[in-house]
Amino acid sequence: MSKVRTEDLKPGLIVSEDVKSPDGRVILPKGGRIEAFHPMLLKGLGVTEVEADSGDDEKLLQAAADYTREFFSYANPDSPVLAELFLYATGLVAQRLATGWVPPTLGERMAQNVEHLSDVLPADEADPEKIVRHETELASFPESSLRLKAELESPKASIGSLTKLIGQDLGLSAKLLKLANSPLYNFAEPVESIQRAVTLIGLREVSTLALGMATINYFQGIPPELVDMKSFWRHSISCGIFAKILSQAMGSGMNPERFFIAGLLHDVGRLIMFKKLPYASTEALLYARENFVPIVAAEAALIGYTHTAVSQYLLASWKFPAMLADLINNHHSPKAAPDPRLAAIIHTADAMSNAVEIGAGRLYVLPDFDDESFALMGLPASGLAKVFADYETQAEQTISAFF
């Protein structure tokens, strides 16, 4: 244990004593982890040094950085955003290594037998439009989602009509109330009714939330041997949380619920691919894992198109609201969106949720990042440390609202 100067603190260091301000307030308790924003914060509060096990922590951080670096190997090393994401992911990995976690070996990344899987459509018929048509001919868009979509688009929508509509689906009502009472909103008093949620959050906002959450039900029943649905939705919900926080950081008039739902549904095209092309989709995942390329690049290389090409046809067939569809369909290519500045929010949120997953044993590298589109958001890359901190206060309870 030794004293470390505030300016020398590095993300991932674990403090060995309470860090207190000059007036005695505890800023970071014993055992807490130093994040990227702490040196500036502590310096501003007049803290000049903290107690930390710097020797062991330095070795741990180096091991964490070496492991994490592999997952950034495909991306632009000069990206200031990815530099922030790397620091955060390294801290998470260091924290797990300190608990005795053993990272997955190369053998665990290697291919498994996928010969027992077979695609629904032959390769020459499996273009995005055809697999979506095959899917929608067999299973229609959920009736509850259709009614919510109509309500969202209706000029006659009211608190009473929306409350009645949501109240007809007890599962949806329960999830919305759990979400309204989660740190995502952090209301001072418990929200005990859908009507109260609509009053506090807003008519259009709750309609958007309800539409997105009802849409999730469409994808129930995908076999677990194809995709770990809990991990899939955890990533998607994390993306939604980051998207909401980023949109709020950009100022008023952004409709954070829209971005939360766009983040939540950003990978729906992948689910259709798993349903219709299980062999090809699993091959793409294994190829990405073994060769350290992003999943989206593996899809393009092995299948000939990506999950966003599928989501374009899927959301069009469902007549999904255009703004949401544009955000979802362009989350890997924000410059192609009608409004690149808005699509950059989902693009950034997806990258941030991928960084979080590295610390949870994720086996896939991050796709490249569009710093030019990020610049349109008007946020400094250094401000992402605060976004990560806000995410940590909201994530677990918000994610639990869906399970």
| CATH at 135 | 1.10.3210.10
Query: pLDDT by residue (tens digit) across 367-394?
Result: 999 999 999 999 999 999 999 999 998 9
Q: Give me the mean pLDDT over the 125-141 stretch.
A: 81
Among the listed ranges 120-134, 278-292, 327-341, which one has the minimum average pLDDT value?
120-134
Q: Is 44 exposed, middle or buried (0-12, 13-18, 19+ CB in 10 A)?
A: exposed
Verify that 130 and 250 share a domain, yes or no: yes
Residue 209 lies in a domain: no
End-to-end Cα separation, the chain, in angstroms: 41
Position 118 scores a pLDDT of 62
256 Cβ partners below 8 Å, 6+ apart? 205, 243, 244, 247, 248
Verify that 296 and 383 share a domain, yes or no: yes
The DSSP-derived string for 307-374 is: HHHHHHHHHHHTT--HHHHHHHHTSS-GGGSSSHHHHHHHHHHHHHHHHHHHTTT--SPPPP--HHHH
Number of domains in the chain: 2
Verify that 330 and 270 share a domain, yes or no: yes
- Between 117 and 298, the more confident residue is 298
Verify that 128 and 71 share a domain, yes or no: no
The closest alpha carbon to 321, from 81, 105, 146, belongs to 146
The closest alpha carbon to 236, from 219, 214, 260, 255, belongs to 260
Q: Is the pLDDT reported for residue 278 higher than 80?
A: yes
Distance CA 181, CA 202 (A): 15
Position 149 scores a pLDDT of 78
Residue 304 lies in a domain: yes
Q: Quick check: helix, strand or coil at residue 1? A: coil
Residue 109 lies in a domain: no
* Range(s) of the domain holding residue 68: 2-76
Residue 359 lies in a domain: yes
Position 367 scores a pLDDT of 93
CATH number at residue 63: 3.90.105.10
Distance CA 320, CA 346 (A): 17
Residue 88 lies in a domain: no
